[in-house]
């Protein structure tokens, strides 16, 4: 069996950086050696990692390739989106299969298997969005956990008439999750209240993209987060994971629950760590549409960004995902000219998360170990992919990234690989660069050259969360 010997690098895992050589045999990591102690002869290729970090392939636990939304669909296919992810050092995504109200859950899952089969460049798994909680979908939850490798279900407290579940439905799904061990993922914004504010804003003639943020205030994220946490407590502490947390007061709710030892977790996304209501969503004219996403970007005059970085350090925020949901400006975002509520919600970042979070290391906001934990190890543990994914250890899949801290990345539409006609990160300069990307022992990216193939990526069945109490 052929292999790879990755020599001279600094292996970074949740335990911190160590000097070690890594032997890959076939699709698996075979051994770690003291520098220079590995085999000197054999049927393997040597990769020189001198001066580089050797990290587990990153796991993006929240993407929406080809997602039908707002009268259009997300512009990355599973082909273009997973290739872009690979360029950025992500070797596994967990995307969302969708069941709409009135549809059979298993049909929704089958549709997502059909979309992905033979299309992905990296490994992939699914969460299931439940757009309708009823007796049938509750029964389906058991079947998906027991037989399909789907162990997490997303519910929405927002988007009435589309994905929205009321409190009774949420409670029933949480009770079911408590019984079968699944994780409930919550889009925590008070949708009915937001819809009132949106209608009132439009009646006043407030139609620009910035009103998307103003009509989704922090209070309505904090209130929904708190309500979700209380509902989970009524469901005997069902495991709860708040997605795309953006605001300080929502984080306070999560932190308080975690201090009580509750089964409550949260993720944030790069856009909330770097971008703001005023500078991006409030850009001139219709330009701000590029940054319309939900939850929305928050004010730079408040403490959100600093609090989110602090939350990542303290583990009140466990994971950084992208919520990658890209739309082109032309023919998609521009559907909302004259009415911000018609702008499709979403930002594309699947290619940039590893770099954007490494910038946090350079800026002294995260340790190297925490960088790797938040982008790879913890999402793998959170969603039942560990130790197959998320760690450089014997027996794990050989999903490995060589990261060059001495190189630089300049982000922009001319160089990115996502299927978008603009970049939400145009002009961002990162002190670091993804150098080599390996998926199950196969080199997908070296430097700027792509060696991967569509269809290399496999569906991965997930177990229950490692963090379940
Ligand atoms: N938020 C977004 O920005 N896009 C897709 C769905 C969501 O919840
Ligand atoms: Zn959401
Ligand atoms: Zn999402």
**Distance (Å, whole) CA 114 – CA 108:** 10
Per-residue model confidence (pLDDT) at position 55: 98
Residue segments in the chain with a per-residue pLDDT below the cut of 50: none
Task: Please tell me if the CB atom of residue 64 comes closer than 6 angstroms to any atom of ligand 1.
Answer: yes
Contact 381, 391 (CB under 8 A): no
4-32 per-position pLDDT tens digit: 999 999 999 999 999 999 999 999 999 99
Cis, bond preceding 387 (omega within 30 deg of 0): yes
> Which of 288, 466, 447, 275 has its CA nearest to residue 373?
466
Contact 172, 133 (CB under 8 A): yes
Q: 150 CA distance to ligand 1 centroid (A)?
A: 20
Task: Please tell me if the CB atom of residue 212 comes closer than 6 angstroms to any atom of ligand 1.
Answer: no
Task: Please tell me if the CB atom of residue 298 comes closer than 6 angstroms to any atom of ligand 1.
Answer: no
| Closest ligand 1 atom, residue 347 Cα | 3
Tell me the C-alpha to C-alpha distance, in Å, between residue 150 and each of 213, 390, 432. 33, 18, 35
Task: Please tell me if the CB atom of residue 292 comes closer than 6 angstroms to any atom of ligand 1.
Answer: no
Give the containing element (helix H, strand E) for 63: strand 58-63
Tell me the C-alpha to C-alpha distance, in Å, between residue 448 and each of 375, 436, 445. 22, 9, 7
Alpha carbon 432 to its chain centroid, in Å, reads 21
What 3-state class would DSSP assign to 257? helix
Q: What is the 3-state secondary structure (H, E, C) of 2-36?
A: CEEEEECCEEEECCEEEECEEEEECCEEEEEECCC
Q: Which two tokens stand for residue 368?
A: 């190297």
| Closest ligand 1 atom, residue 158 Cα | 8
| Closest ligand 1 atom, residue 69 Cα | 5
What 3-state class would DSSP assign to 287? helix
341-373 per-position pLDDT tens digit: 999 999 999 999 999 999 999 999 999 999 999
Per-residue model confidence (pLDDT) at position 42: 83
Beta-carbon-side half-sphere exposure of residue 357 (alpha carbons within 13 Å): 32
Task: Please tell me if the CB atom of residue 293 comes closer than 6 angstroms to any atom of ligand 1.
Answer: yes
**Distance (Å, whole) CA 116 – CA 78:** 6
Residue 68, classified by CB atoms within 10 Å of its CB into exposed (0-12), middle (13-18) or buried (19+), is exposed
Per-residue model confidence (pLDDT) at position 468: 86
Q: Which two tokens stand for residue 429?
A: 């300069």
Q: Which two tokens stand for residue 6?
A: 């990755």
DSSP state of 144: I
Considering Cα of 74, then 80, then 82, then 83, what sign does the dihedral take?
A: negative
Place of tokens 């709710």: 253
- Residue minimizing CA distance to atom 7 of ligand 1: 294
Q: Which two tokens stand for residue 129?
A: 């969005």
Cis, bond preceding 295 (omega within 30 deg of 0): yes
Q: Which of 71, 155, 345, 424 to mutate to test the pocket of ligand 1 (most atoms within 8 A of CB)?
A: 345
Per-residue model confidence (pLDDT) at position 75: 98
**Distance (Å, whole) CA 355 – CA 352:** 5
Q: Which two tokens stand for residue 172?
A: 């029933």
Q: 347 CA distance to ligand 1 centroid (A)?
A: 8
**Distance (Å, whole) CA 81 – CA 437:** 16
Task: Please tell me if the CB atom of residue 187 comes closer than 6 angstroms to any atom of ligand 1.
Answer: yes
| Closest ligand 1 atom, residue 187 Cα | 8
Q: Which two tokens stand for residue 222?
A: 């904090």
Q: What is the 3-state secondary structure (H, E, C) of 334-393?
A: HHHCCCHHHCCCCECCCCCHHHHHHHHHHCCCCCHHHHHHHHHHHHHHHCCCCCCCCCCC
The overall average pLDDT reported for the chain is: 97
Per-residue model confidence (pLDDT) at position 469: 72
DSSP state of 282: T
């Amino acid at each position: 069996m052929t292999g790879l010997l990755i020599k001279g690098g600094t292996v970074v895992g949740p335990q911190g950086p160590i000097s070690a050589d890594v032997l890959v045999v076939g699709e698996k990591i075979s051994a770690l050696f003291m520098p220079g102690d590995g085999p000197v002869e054999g049927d393997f290729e040597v990769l020189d990692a001198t001066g580089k970090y050797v990290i587990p392939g990153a796991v993006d636990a929240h993407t929406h390739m080809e997602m039908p939304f707002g009268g259009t669909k997300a512009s990355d296919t599973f082909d273009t989106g997973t290739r872009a992810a690979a360029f950025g050092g992500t070797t596994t995504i967990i995307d969302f299969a969708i069941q709409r109200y009135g549809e059979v859950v298993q049909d929704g899952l089958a549709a997502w298997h059909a979309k992905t089969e033979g299309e992905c460049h990296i490994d992939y798994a699914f969460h299931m969005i439940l757009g309708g909680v009823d007796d049938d979908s509750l029964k389906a939850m058991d079947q998906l956990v027991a037989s399909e490798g789907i162990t997490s279900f997303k519910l929405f407290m927002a988007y009435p008439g589309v994905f929205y579940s009321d409190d009774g439905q949420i409670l029933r799904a949480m009770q079911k999750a408590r019984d079968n061990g699944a994780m409930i993922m919550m889009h925590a914004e008070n949708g009915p209240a937001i819809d009132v504010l949106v209608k009132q804003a439009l009646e006043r003639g407030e139609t620009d993209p910035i009103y998307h943020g103003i009509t989704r205030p922090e209070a309505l994220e904090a209130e929904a987060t708190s309500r979700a946490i209380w509902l989970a407590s009524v469901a005997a502490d069902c495991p709860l994971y708040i997605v795309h947390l953006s605001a300080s007061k929502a984080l306070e709710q999560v932190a308080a629950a975690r201090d009580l030892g509750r089964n409550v977790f949260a993720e944030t996304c790069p856009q909330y760590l770097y971008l703001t209501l005023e500078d991006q969503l409030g850009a001139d004219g219709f330009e701000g549409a590029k940054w319309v996403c939900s939850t929305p970007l928050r004010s730079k005059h408040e403490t959100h960004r600093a609090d989110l970085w602090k939350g990542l350090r303290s583990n009140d925020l466990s994971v950084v995902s992208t919520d990658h949901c890209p739309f082109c400006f032309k023919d998609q975002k521009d559907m909302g000219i004259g009415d911000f509520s018609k702008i499709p919600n979403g930002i594309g970042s699947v290619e940039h998360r590893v770099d954007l979070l490494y910038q946090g290391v350079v800026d002294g906001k995260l340790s190297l170990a925490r960088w790797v934990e938040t982008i790879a190890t913890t999402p793998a543990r959170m969603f039942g992919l560990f130790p197959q994914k998320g760690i450089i250890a014997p027996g794990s899949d050989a999903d490995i990234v060589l990261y060059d801290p001495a190189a630089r990345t300049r982000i922009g539409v001319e160089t990115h690989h996502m299927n978008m006609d603009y970049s939400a990160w145009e002009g961002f300069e990162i002190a670091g660069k993804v150098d080599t990307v390996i998926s199950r022992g196969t080199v997908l990216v070296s430097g700027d050259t792509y060696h991967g193939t569509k269809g290399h990526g496999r569906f991965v069945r997930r177990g229950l969360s490692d963090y379940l109490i």
